[in-house]
Amino acid sequence: MAMASPRERSLLLSLAALLLLASASASASDDDLDYLIDNADDIPANDPDGWLQEGSPDDDDDLFHHHQEEAFDESHVFLLSASNFSDFLASHRHVMVEFYAPWCAHCQALAPDYAAAAADLAPLSHEVALAKVDATEDTDLAQKYHVQGFPTILFFIDGVPKDYTGPRTREAIVSWINKKLGPGVHNITTVDEAEKILTGEDKALLAFLHSLSGAHSNEISAASRLEDAVNFYQTSNPDVAKLFHIDPAANRPTLVLLKKQEDDKLTFYDGQFKASAIADFVSANKLPSVITLTQETAPSIFDNPIKKQACLIILLFVVANESVKFLPSFKEAAKSFKGKLLFVFVERDNEEVGGPVANYFGITGQETTVLAYTGNEDARKFFLDGEMSVENIKVIVEICPCTVPD
């Protein structure tokens, strides 16, 4: 077998990194692991192994096929740089920004659809704008927003960024943005409405307010546009609040996140009543304390703000028929780090997901394994040595060279 070239080794490393860490900038469209694997050749911004030099427009290597581009109209796409970025975001409530590299084949493929989406949304220019930043020129700006691959697409609402993880097509971009511009929070005024929500939805956030309009309502509405997987509701009716286990005499505003399928069915919010903080609270708490890695859960793991702010993921590898012996202790340990670290269960004998991830870490055989992985530039791994207990799992977290968020 021929030895892999440096370029091929880079692609394999990128594939493995995406499989485990799924860089937030990978822009996965179908919310499944297959898409991440299929798009593993998205170009990393830190240019491992000299990829940038090898992948320049002058390189005619067949890994990237450069072809004659058709002309298209980019007049509705704003070109931003460090000099005008902050002012532009301050003057536009909703802004989609593509961080690109001129030599990036994926960016070149996206450009016509991105320009067409901007043109379609031009009649809504008072509400939304589409822009782009050359990340190879404005490197400090790219680093500020943690751009790790090209293209990276962020959607800013009142200056707060959210990853765009939808398909890179004109229609998908327009549809996704239109949903973000619609009403994000729904009013509940009667007990009947509340009961329908409680019986029909697995997860929901309720805000108990003095009024269904005003500053607090505006913050809830803005937060709802930063979160795709949970519906946001607001009420001023004490009887509705009581159904959501909120004390009708409680100080308002009060927020509670309901998760019917989890052990911790209710999580109350006690942070600052600001859109970005509320959205982070929902994103951090909407998942169970231990997440089973599947194609469906991969995006919620990889795009979670906990993964971005904490450089540590705790993984349990165990075969399916042994999981009942080890998962209880793993879940108990996870409770101590709820909202701070991600605890992930990997079914070792799952050929579709568990096998490839285990192989990446060099885990062989069927032995139960716990490891902590630092998702930073060092990419270090720490294996649990000894009995798998709550105390030992906590120890491995403490010895890792990462700061657990407060």
Between residues 35 and 291, the one the model is more confident about: 291
Please provide the CATH number assigned to the domain covering 290-399.
Answer: 3.40.30.10
**pLDDT for the residue 51:** 29
Please provide the CATH number assigned to the domain covering 1-182.
Answer: 3.40.30.10
> Domain 185-285 has what CATH class?
alpha beta
Instruction: Compute the distance between CA of residue 135 and CA of residue 137 in angstroms, rounded to an integer.
Output: 5
The pLDDT-based confidence of 209 (bands split at 50, 70, 90) is very high
Q: Please, are residues 115 and 81 in contact by the beta-carbon 8 Å criterion?
A: no
What are the backbone dihedrals phi and psi of residue 372, each rounded to the nearest 5 degrees, phi first? -110, 135
Q: Which amino acid type is present at position 394?
A: K
Would you say the CATH fold of 290-399 matches that of 1-182?
A: yes
Q: Please, are residues 312 and 341 in contact by the beta-carbon 8 Å criterion?
A: yes
% the chain with pLDDT above 90: 45
**pLDDT for the residue 39:** 41
Q: H/E element holding 156?
A: strand 152-157
Tens of pLDDT, residues 128-172: 999 999 999 999 999 999 998 899 999 998 898 988 877 889 998
Q: What angle do CA 166, 167, 168 make, to 5 degrees?
A: 115
Classify 79 as helix, strand or coil: strand
Q: H/E element holding 122?
A: none
- Segments making up each domain of the chain, as ranges: 1-182, 185-285, 290-399
Two tokens, residue 9: 């080794």
**pLDDT for the residue 382:** 85
